[in-house]
Each structure stands twice: as C-alpha cells, then as structure tokens.
Amino acid sequence: MIKNAKEADTYPNILEVKQLSTSFLVGGNQLKAVDEVSFEVAEGEVLGIVGESGSGKSITLRSIIGLSRRYGEVSGEVNWHGKNLVTMPERDLRKIRGKDIAMIFQEPMSSLNPLLTVGLQIRENLVEHTNLDKSGRKNRAIELLEMVGIPDAANRLSDYPHQFSGGMRQRVMIAIALASNPKLLLADEPTTALDVTIQKQILKLILDLSKDLGMAVILVTHDLGVAAQTCDRLAVMYGGKLVETGATRDVLRDPQHRYTMGLLKSVPENIAPRTQLYSLPGTPPSLLNLPKGCAFAPRCAHRVASCADAKPPLVGATHQVACFNPVDDDQKSMGAA
C-alpha cells in the first residue's frame, strides 16, 4: 500500500534546505558527497530520501545539523525558523541539535556509549535541554522508555546497552532522540540489521510518535517498500544529487527518472521461481571521479548527447525530475529503465 500524500498546503514548512553542498578533502582531491540539494519539510510530514549506498543520503542528514562540517566543508542554506544552520556558530547550534532537531543513527550499538547506563544517556539530553530537576529527569526517562515500548522501564534505566536486544537498543536511541520533544526527527536507516518483524515495529513506532507529537520526520532508507508505507513524499538521490522528488504515490506509480524506474524494477514482485532477478546495470560512480554531465548517464540505456556534457536541473512543480530524456508512457508500459 502506498501512503497517501498530505496536501501541499496543509502545514507550513519548518525546514527549508537550499543548494546544500558538502565536500571532503580526500588524498588532495575534493570529494563532493552532497551537490546542491534543495528540499522542504512541512510540519508533521514524513519525507523519505531513497537511493543506493553512497548516494549521499546520510551525509545530507549530518550536514543539516552541522555534524559534517567538523571534518568537511558545507555550503548552502538550511533554514530553521528563519535561521541558517549552516553558518550558525557551534555554540548556538548545540542548543537546537538534540532539542528541536534530533537524530537516530544507523547502528545503535556504535552510537550508544557501552560504558554508561541507558538511563544516564537519556538524562544527558535532559540535563542539556530541559530545566527538570534530578527527580523530574528520572521520571521523564522512565516515561520515554515506556513510550517506546520497553517493558519494566523503571528497572531498565540501570542496564547497559549490551543488555538490550538490537530492536530494544534502537528503541533506546529513539527515546534519547525524543527526550526534548523535537519538532524534527532525522532517522538514518533506523531499521538496518533488524529482522522484518522488528523493522515493522520500529517504523510503526516512529510514525505513531510523529502523529501523536506533530513531529516531522526525514527518513533515509534504501528500502522502497518501507518508503511506500511510511512516507508522504519521496526524494530519490544519486551521485550526491536529487534526481526525482514528489508525493510518494506519484513517484512510485509514475516514475520519471530512469534511475527511479530501475530501483522499482529491482524490487521482486510476482516473480516466478528460478527467474533471474533484475538489477541495475553497472555500479554507482566514485564521488572522486563523477562524470561531467549526468552521474547516471554511464548506466543509462536511454542517455542522449546532452547527458554527457551537462548536469540536468531538477524541474517540475510538485513532481520534479532531473533528466534530459525522462521516461514516457510507452516506456513505462514496457518497463524500460
């Protein structure tokens, strides 16, 4: 089931990303991991960013809250309530990061401190971003663990991360992220390495909390099935750039970019036994040696002369695509990619 998109004017935008770029110095060369990415997120909306590994999805999230600028160069604008987070001093950014904008990382075991109890790690956020006293912080920590579905929460505050299962550690990460009632949650593949049943529980938890708290979510995933069921809008990313954006229903039912169509064809559906599965030809480009023109051109059977010389701009109203030769209706019916 594809999630219905909210009306574009239902909620005001709380985050506006404009021409965001992030590069790193690698072996004397500039590696551009994010290349002039622009999008908006509305209050209470779930935006999905999808694409293969190495597309720049995770770096985009880290760049939004200033984590990438510690070891790279970030430019462009990330407007949060009229303030540009890209140029904001670190001292001021720390007041927003973890409080108004929170993040869930891919692997909780490497994100949680193995030497500190989960209760202490939750209370660290509360000390930094709330005025609660010691008793209030303990009660809030118990409330958060109960909110994310951890049984016997009061007694588990003194447990360490290794005493929790993978799914429960991810719930602890969500509890820490929600400690200060953020307005925006950045979820970087929050179900990675979890089994299917736990994945469903974690995603449902995030969606329920988004609805109950009025919290916007940016969900990074490479799983189109997850995106279809959870996201209001999708942004497809490749080679550090957005190649297609729009309402989830529009992007998945009416893909315009060859890469998007290739991703959809790669999802097994009604496949006969012993049938070879489809995979996109070629491999993602090295960010140290991107093509001059469209990054997807070397893998695209429908490239035209313009693709080799220029980067296609992202054009369109509500459904945008960056392609000089987008998919037409005849090709969709034939499943061309």
Map tokens 């290794």 to a residue.
162
Among residues 90, 20, 26, 28, the alpha carbon closest in space to that of 56 is found at 20
Q: In the predicted model, what is the mean pLDDT of the chain?
A: 88
Whether residue 125 is found in the same domain as residue 253: no
Whether residue 115 is found in the same domain as residue 253: no
Whether residue 251 is found in the same domain as residue 333: yes
The number of domains in the chain is 2
CA–centroid distance for 325 within its chain: 27
Among residues 152, 168, 164, 158, the alpha carbon closest in space to that of 123 is found at 158
Q: How confident is the model at residue 7 (pLDDT cuts 50, 70, 90)?
A: very low
1 within some domain? no
Whether the per-residue pLDDT at 336 is higher than 60: the answer is: no
User: Which pLDDT belongs to residue 242?
Assistant: 97
Domain span at residue 48 reads 12-100+188-197+212-268+277-337
Structure tokens, 3: 């999630």
Whether residue 216 is found in the same domain as residue 282: yes
Whether residue 192 is found in the same domain as residue 328: yes
pLDDT digit string (tens) for 265-309?
888 877 778 888 888 888 888 888 888 899 999 999 999 999 999
Task: Please say whether the beta carbons of 60 and 37 come within 8 A.
Answer: yes
Whether residue 325 is found in the same domain as residue 242: yes
What's the rounded Cα separation, in Å, for the pair 285 and 298?
9
Task: Please say whether the beta carbons of 284 and 54 come within 8 A.
Answer: yes
Whether residue 238 is found in the same domain as residue 319: yes
Whether residue 331 is found in the same domain as residue 217: yes
Amino acid identity, position 96: I
What's the rounded Cα separation, in Å, for the pair 148 and 152?
12
User: Which pLDDT belongs to residue 289?
Assistant: 83
Whether residue 321 is found in the same domain as residue 239: yes
CATH number at residue 247: 3.40.50.300
pLDDT digit string (tens) for 41-92?
999 999 999 999 889 999 999 999 999 988 899 999 999 988 999 999 999 9
